[in-house]
A and B are shown apart, each in its own frame.
Chain A
Amino acid sequence: MRTLAAFALSTAAIAWATPTMAEPLRIGIIESLSGSQTSTGRLYAAAVQYGVDLINANGGFNGEPIEVIEYDNAGGSTGAADKFRQAVADGVHIVFQGASSAVAGQITEDVRRHNIRNPGSEVMFINVGAEAMSLTGEQCHFYHFRYATTAPMRVNALVNAMAAAGELGTRVFSINQNYSWGQDMQAAIEAAAAAGGYEVVEAVLHDVNTIQDFAPFVARINAADPDTVITGNWSNDLLLLMKAASEAGLDVRFGTTFLDQPGNIANAGDTALGHYLANNYVPAAGDPAFAEAYAAAVGHVPVFVEPPTIFAVGALGLALADVDFAGGEIDVTEIAKALEGVTYESPVGPISVRAEDHQTIRPVVVSRVARGTQYPVDDTDLGFEPVSVVAGPDAIYPVQASCEMERPD
């Protein structure tokens, strides 16, 4: 009798509770939040949180504030696979990640398999920084969106802007890290040669973040006598390369893609002066209101991977405004379809999704390291001075033939 009463009571409680409990949208960030790559992982997490706070300040979604859950992938794809399953167990609808193409490769496959096995409770992956071409190539699928640039976008913008400024020259040296990103960069540098009016005098691939002394590479650069060195190197590989070049008194321009990683300018100092950077955004470009608002909330102007992440969450916010589940169950497929149609106005230009491969068509900002800029970085007197903003349609490349996307009905 007592169990029956308890049962009736609990049923009543559930019946009473259900109508008031709308399903909150859950966003999972699967990043490296411990270990050597923590600093970058933190930037992604902070930027997602900031973007979601903005949406929540406007009433959230589905009648509830959007929940953000952080997962530490411990720096590797095995950890990411693990945390993806945890995220699914926690009811996460949308996964954000960006710091590593290897991890993104794992997550995008996990998402694809999850969606095949669990029709009706799909999960979506918003990639905010993993730039490997394969993610929108042979690995592409409907539930993966890349809100970041890729190697050809960065290189094309860099080459055009440097040529327009008369600083590119006709001899380009390509030096990159020997893995997919570096190989993509090298391919992009070689592909842009005809349009940029230069010759690739030498293309070098080297080990990733293990080289302590770049002097031998600098000697090769010196021997090839280039006007410009274009490199996709990041972290130590960029820093040590630039230092070795400056110590050897090499007189070349560097065209880079990750010079804005926090700490790089502080480490490089005046060595960095006059070098170029192609990325998603620098605070001195476009409407300063965006940078100021972020600085007021977080304590610094958005740098490195933060701007593209905030843009992605902003675009997601627009997509959410287009769908309405009336407080009921959330259908991720509807959100994904809405996101395809969204154009987000970033401070440097519109960002939209290309339906064929879910790569975003987005502006690329080319800037130059200069003294006395409006937004100095790393507590130095150096900063990034915008040279040109290449509009999305000019920076984009054709859809890769390897992408065969199956769309849901």
Chain B
Amino acid sequence: MRTPLIIAAVLVALAAVPPFLGLGLQNALVNVLIASLFALAFNLLIGQAGLLSFGHAAYFGVGAFATLHLMRIIEDGVIDFPTPLLPLAGAVAGLVVGAIAGFFATMRSGVYFALVTLAIAELFHALAPRWQGLFGGEAGLSSMRMPWGGITFGSTLQVYYLTLGWVAISIWVLWAYTRTPFGRLTLALRDNEQRVRFLGYNAHATKVIVFAVSAMFSGIAGALQATSNEVANYSLFSSHVSAQVVLYTFVGGSIVFFGPLLGAAIFTLFAYLISDLTRSWLLYQGLIFVLVMLYAPAGIGGIVQTHARHWQRLDWSRLAGPYALGGLGGGLVAAAVVFLTESLGVLFDEAYAVARRGAGGGYPPFEAFGIPWDPLSPVTWGVPLALFVVGLVLLLRARRAIAERWDAVRSAPAVPAAGPGPDARTASTQQIAG
């Protein structure tokens, strides 16, 4: 009841706001959309079917290369093909390659499945730079979006709307898929494959189909990236791409349908905003991942869902205090960690070594956050340390208070849930914020 309204509001915002944004943000939003679709396609496997793939870069990359080939044919004038339908090439390629790879990968489950998918992605990664004709060597393939139907497809904004259309439709199809009987079968497969087999279903065939569908949507995501970048090269197959989508999905929360979307959006925007500010941004990204895995294993989506589910029974007058306290504590700890990381970064930089030489081997003040700091002063290190300790204490207290209040909420008699979706596993039993 509320959900369709929220989705409609998000869609309207996504359609109406970008023309007023700068080029940089428009481009960042294109990346957010592509990453979201990729993460949701990936989550079809892990969240719905319980299959953890470590090689989804393969299908993302295959989709991108297929699209590039189509774009090159169009550019050469061999065929006339509508530019907005370019991602179809990625979908077909993803589906076909996914079906073949899935046939082998899904013969096993668990760790062995993950390893086979990893191996398949590595196969592409090793093959692509050598196969000059198909993958264009390590420089890759390059083309140009051709104008179609009076639209040039030259500006970032036009690419954005093309991406938005494809992503919105794809996500809707993915969601609708989870509501079909076959989608339910996928869920059953995750919970108990043995039972599915005894019920008379062909478990292997089912898994191959799920795998192929997931690969198809990954292919569309890759195709959208190829359409946007107009280049594809072998680095699309790297384990980094595969790892990134795992990161998105788990931080966002794989048990909630829209969770991976949250994770993808957060990390893509994080990279956009932070990567040019500090060289330690990958460290921060890793810290966020570790913290989410340790203290909110259901992911950010899980936290949101738990709150939504218990919304009517939440007494915010009692919860707001501990939440604010926790936010303050977290903020203090984060500030201390960022300060220490950035300061160490400056102190171990070669520029500081030059400054030291200039100061006759002493320790001249260093600059961080636009303020000079004395590296030998107890204030420089004492204050962040104190902030860290105070923040930690606040966090622990807030955590206890929050846990108490949530226990009260959970032990209250259950209100009938508002329509159990396919994602209605056991989010409420997963701990939130500790």
Taking the nearest CB of chain B, how far is it from the CB of A183, in angstroms?
Answer: 9
With contacts A77-B140, A299-B350 known, is A89 near B231, CB below 8 A?
no
A86 touching B24 by the CB < 8 A rule? yes
Interface string of B215-247 (1 = CB under 8 A from A): 000000000010011110111101010000000
Taking the nearest CB of chain A, how far is it from the CB of B140, in angstroms?
Answer: 6
With contacts A106-B140, A178-B130 known, is A89 near B22, CB below 8 A?
yes
Docked complex: A71-87 residues within 8 A CB-CB of B = 71-72, 74-78, 81-82, 85-86
A101 touching B24 by the CB < 8 A rule? no
The residues of A that contact B272 with a CB separation of less than 8 Å are 86
Given contacts A81-B228, A106-B231, A109-B230, list 14 more A-B pairs with CB under 8 A. Answer: A34-B281, A72-B276, A74-B271, A74-B275, A76-B238, A78-B225, A78-B236, A86-B276, A89-B24, A106-B229, A110-B231, A134-B139, A178-B129, A180-B138
Taking the nearest CB of chain B, how far is it from the CB of A311, in angstroms?
Answer: 21
A290 close to chain B: CB less than 8 A: no
Taking the nearest CB of chain B, how far is it from the CB of A262, in angstroms?
Answer: 11
B238 touching A38 by the CB < 8 A rule? no
B276 touching A71 by the CB < 8 A rule? yes
Could you tell me the distance between the alpha carbons of A75 and B142 in the complex, rounded to whole angstroms?
Answer: 19
A101 touching B139 by the CB < 8 A rule? yes
A70 close to chain B: CB less than 8 A: yes
Could you tell me the distance between the alpha carbons of A71 and B156 in the complex, rounded to whole angstroms?
Answer: 19
B308 close to chain A: CB less than 8 A: no
A350 close to chain B: CB less than 8 A: no
A82 touching B31 by the CB < 8 A rule? yes
The residues of A that contact B354 with a CB separation of less than 8 Å are 297-299
A132 close to chain B: CB less than 8 A: yes
B410 close to chain A: CB less than 8 A: no
Could you tell me the distance between the alpha carbons of A300 and B138 in the complex, rounded to whole angstroms?
Answer: 33
**Of A34, A78, A134, A139, which is within 8 A of B282 by CB?**
A34
Taking the nearest CB of chain A, how far is it from the CB of B246, in angstroms?
Answer: 17
Interface string of A47-85 (1 = CB under 8 A from B): 000000000000000000000011110111110011001
Using a CB–CB distance below 8 Å, which chain B residues touch chain A? 22-24, 27, 31, 126, 129-130, 137-140, 142, 144, 152, 154-156, 225, 228-231, 233-236, 238, 240, 271-272, 275-276, 279-282, 350-351, 353-354, 357
B233 touching A299 by the CB < 8 A rule? no
A90 close to chain B: CB less than 8 A: yes
The 7 closest A-B pairs by CB, nearest first: A89-B23, A105-B139, A299-B354, A89-B24, A81-B229, A109-B142, A117-B154
A side interface size, CB within 8 A? 42
- Name the residue among A69, A101, A105, A110 with the largest chain B CB count within 10 angstroms: A105
Could you tell me the distance between the alpha carbons of A46 and B351 in the complex, rounded to whole angstroms?
Answer: 10
Taking the nearest CB of chain A, how far is it from the CB of B21, in angstroms?
Answer: 10
Taking the nearest CB of chain B, how far is it from the CB of A136, in angstroms?
Answer: 13
B231 touching A70 by the CB < 8 A rule? no
The residues of A that contact B271 with a CB separation of less than 8 Å are 74
Interface string of A120-161 (1 = CB under 8 A from B): 000000000000101000010000000000000000000000
What are 6 sample pairs from A and B whose C-beta atoms fall under 8 A apart?
Answer: A74-B271, A76-B235, A102-B235, A105-B139, A134-B139, A300-B350
- Name the residue among B225, B235, B282 with the largest chain A CB count within 10 angstroms: B235
B27 touching A86 by the CB < 8 A rule? yes
The residues of B that contact A408 with a CB separation of less than 8 Å are none
- Name the residue among A81, A109, A116, A207 with the largest chain B CB count within 10 angstroms: A109
**Of B144, B231, B350, which is within 8 A of A77 by CB?**
B231
A7 close to chain B: CB less than 8 A: no
Could you tell me the distance between the alpha carbons of A96 and B197 in the complex, rounded to whole angstroms?
Answer: 59
- Name the residue among A38, A81, A82, A102 with the largest chain B CB count within 10 angstroms: A82
**Of B22, B27, B139, B225, which is within 8 A of A132 by CB?**
B139
A325 close to chain B: CB less than 8 A: no
Taking the nearest CB of chain A, how far is it from the CB of B20, in angstroms?
Answer: 14
Could you tell me the distance between the alpha carbons of A385 and B345 in the complex, rounded to whole angstroms?
Answer: 34
A180 touching B139 by the CB < 8 A rule? yes
Taking the nearest CB of chain B, how far is it from the CB of A290, in angstroms?
Answer: 18
The residues of A that contact B126 with a CB separation of less than 8 Å are 207
Taking the nearest CB of chain B, how far is it from the CB of A69, in angstroms?
Answer: 8
Could you tell me the distance between the alpha carbons of A253 and B225 in the complex, rounded to whole angstroms?
Answer: 47
The residues of B that contact A113 with a CB separation of less than 8 Å are 144, 230
A19 close to chain B: CB less than 8 A: no
Taking the nearest CB of chain B, how far is it from the CB of A385, in angstroms?
Answer: 26
Could you tell me the distance between the alpha carbons of A128 and B126 in the complex, rounded to whole angstroms?
Answer: 27
Could you tell me the distance between the alpha carbons of A34 and B271 in the complex, rounded to whole angstroms?
Answer: 12
B156 touching A85 by the CB < 8 A rule? yes
B23 touching A85 by the CB < 8 A rule? yes
A163 close to chain B: CB less than 8 A: no
Could you tell me the distance between the alpha carbons of A231 and B238 in the complex, rounded to whole angstroms?
Answer: 26
User: Can you name the residue of chain B whose Cβ is closest to the Cβ of A178?
Assistant: B130
Taking the nearest CB of chain B, how far is it from the CB of A81, in angstroms?
Answer: 4
The residues of B that contact A110 with a CB separation of less than 8 Å are 230-231
Interface string of A192-220 (1 = CB under 8 A from B): 00000000000000011000000000000
With contacts A35-B282, A72-B276 known, is A298 near B231, CB below 8 A?
no
A102 touching B233 by the CB < 8 A rule? yes
The residues of B that contact A34 with a CB separation of less than 8 Å are 275, 279-282
The residues of B that contact A88 with a CB separation of less than 8 Å are 23
